[in-house]
Structure 1
């Protein structure tokens, strides 16, 4: 049987994800984000051993997703190659604004370093999109985008509006850091070349708490896609805003009566309570939920998110996959809770961090 796996490598509070697909002795791979600098250092030997990726997607400019790409592109000899890079830099924000006809004008400094690194790498950059913008408003996003080896990617986020909304944040961050954007001519050429819970967990009470949507602009620009191979699907949600994903799924014809069948949801924003809405859960048919975080910064995953997942589908057997055993995840490894809400937990092997599992 062909392989389709998701690895959630140790990435502190962030993401360093890898999809693998194909035959066991001839796998294709895609890399999504690289966590923090220290995470990249640990992953570097693996990147070198793999050598080549079909896709390197940098979902957005938050440091826990992009920081590790800075030392990668700072290497004298890059540890690997990528046949495709997806990343929305300053140039894509400008282009999205222009496409909207909108003339009003957080990691942005790191994003400029990554932009320069992509330019220098000569890896094909956003080459599947004629405009150079990874956006659901790009015509190419109307159909699934193929990668070598039979993987198909259906883009769900970001929109041109979310990219445009990030521009003032980006520009302000560069000004504070006394940086400027990478030379526009170099970017244009590169694009052309590439074309808190006490006293136990009360699931009912947690799930009933009002959902308040994430409004942070960088998260709204997250590159999100459904990866499909051999009849199996995983939704890679990055740090996306739930309303964007809800709208994208509805455009694809999905509803509570016709939910999208998924083999796994890689949960948005490390399980933040502001990014996975009850409405979104009603639009998917899924029993496997993956969380990437060591809980060090914000105590993710939030208990409200997991409670919503369990309450949404209380009868079927579900699986919660965690890449770290830490207080916010370990509290769910409770036999009474698992019996009551029909779920299992999958953790890394004892003494290890990070996890890989079959989709």
Structure 2
């Protein structure tokens, strides 16, 4: 009996995600991001047990997605093997800019920890793209990319334009994520910023707040895709911008009248109010929504995002899936709200962090 699962491992406020597909006794796996340093170290024994991944995708250079890759590539012996690596480094950004200019591409070697680690690993890096750019602007992205065991990935983000926009701030983004070669070991963030825990959640009022899209350049460069296996689909949105996902879905022929059927949306940017727009929700047919965050640093998921999801589809039964029970998620585990808005909450088992579920 084929299985298709998504695991959201504990990754602080970030992502350490694993897709598993195939027969139970012969599963294939993809790893997407590695959270922070402490998250990688906690996950390392499992990675060693698995041994081989069909894909290791590093979605973008925000620390809560990529920081764990720094100690990974510092290991004297890597704990696993990846048959494919997806990551856009500085050279990919430059080549995307030159492709937009319709000029000869330039190879630029920006020395930083993850790029150097990927090169040293010998793992095939962006090899499924002739340009070596993981972008919807690459011809290979016009059709689903296939992986061993029958998984298909349809790339939705980034565009060449979004990669190019990151160029002027690449060095600053590297410094903020402690990814330059001269940077010391990343320091764990412990503070909480911007948390808004509401005593009484008014879904109507929250959903009515005006949507204002994310403009941060690293998030715009996120690798986001639809993963499909055995007629089931999950949209892995990383920290992607809503307008980029909206445009990609429309290019695929989806509309409010012909929405994309999904078995799960792994919600963009940990449920930030700036990354899941009403327009995106109108382009998908989905009743399960997954959020990866412990709520630290930014207090995600934002209440507006969940309210938009509930208000968009008030009649059908929905499921909100969380990999941490924390104030920003626990506030939704309210019987009156669940009854009024027809949804259930799925949390990790008592005393545990992280969650795995069937798609």
Q: Return the TM-score normalized by structure 2.
A: 0.92
Instruction: Give 2:107's aligned residue.
Output: none
Alpha-carbon contact 1:242-1:276 (below 8 Å) kept: yes
Asked whether 1:32 is paired with 2:32, we answer yes
Distance 1:175 1:212, change over 3 A: closer
Instruction: Give 1:224's aligned residue.
Output: 224
TM alignment of 1:314-329, pairs within 5 A: 314-329=314-329
- 1:137-192 per-residue CA deviation (whole Å, 9 max, x = no partner) reads 0000000000000000000000000000000101345689999799xxxxxxxxxx
TM alignment of 1:281-300, pairs within 5 A: 281-300=281-300
Instruction: Give 2:185's aligned residue.
Output: none
Instruction: Give 1:188's aligned residue.
Output: none
Asked whether 1:114 is paired with 2:97, we answer no
Distance 1:86 1:179, change over 3 A: closer
- 1:48-92 per-residue CA deviation (whole Å, 9 max, x = no partner) reads 000000000000000000000000010000000000000000010
Distance 1:334 1:178 in 2: 39
Instruction: Give 2:280's aligned residue.
Output: 280
Unaligned runs of 5+ in 2: 104-109, 183-195
TM alignment of 1:75-90, pairs within 5 A: 75-90=75-90
Alpha-carbon contact 1:89-1:112 (below 8 Å) kept: no
Distance 1:179 1:31, change over 3 A: closer
Distance 1:353 1:209, change over 3 A: same
Instruction: Give 1:193's aligned residue.
Output: none
Higher helix share: 1
SS in 1 for 2:290: strand
Aligned length: 340
Distance 1:342 1:172, change over 3 A: closer
TM alignment of 1:205-244, pairs within 5 A: 205-244=205-244
SS in 2 for 1:247: helix
Distance 1:59 1:180 in 2: 18
Instruction: Give 2:187's aligned residue.
Output: none
Alpha-carbon contact 2:67-2:179 (below 8 Å) kept: no
Alpha-carbon contact 2:113-2:179 (below 8 Å) kept: no
SS in 2 for 1:353: coil
Distance 1:312 1:13 in 2: 26
Instruction: Give 2:356's aligned residue.
Output: 356
- 1:205-261 per-residue CA deviation (whole Å, 9 max, x = no partner) reads 000000000000000000000000000000000000000000000000000000000
Distance 2:299 2:125 in 1: 35
Alpha-carbon contact 2:61-2:174 (below 8 Å) kept: no
Q: Return the TM-score normalized by structure 1.
A: 0.92
Distance 2:111 2:56 in 1: 15
Give the drift of 1:112: 2.0
Q: For the aligned residues, what is the CA RMSD?
A: 1.9
Distance 1:353 1:83, change over 3 A: same
TM alignment of 1:97-136, pairs within 5 A: 97-101=97-101, 112-136=112-136
Distance 1:305 1:174 in 2: 29
Distance 1:224 1:133 in 2: 14
Asked whether 1:60 is paired with 2:60, we answer yes
SS in 1 for 2:146: strand
Distance 1:124 1:200, change over 3 A: same
Unaligned runs of 5+ in 1: 104-109, 183-195
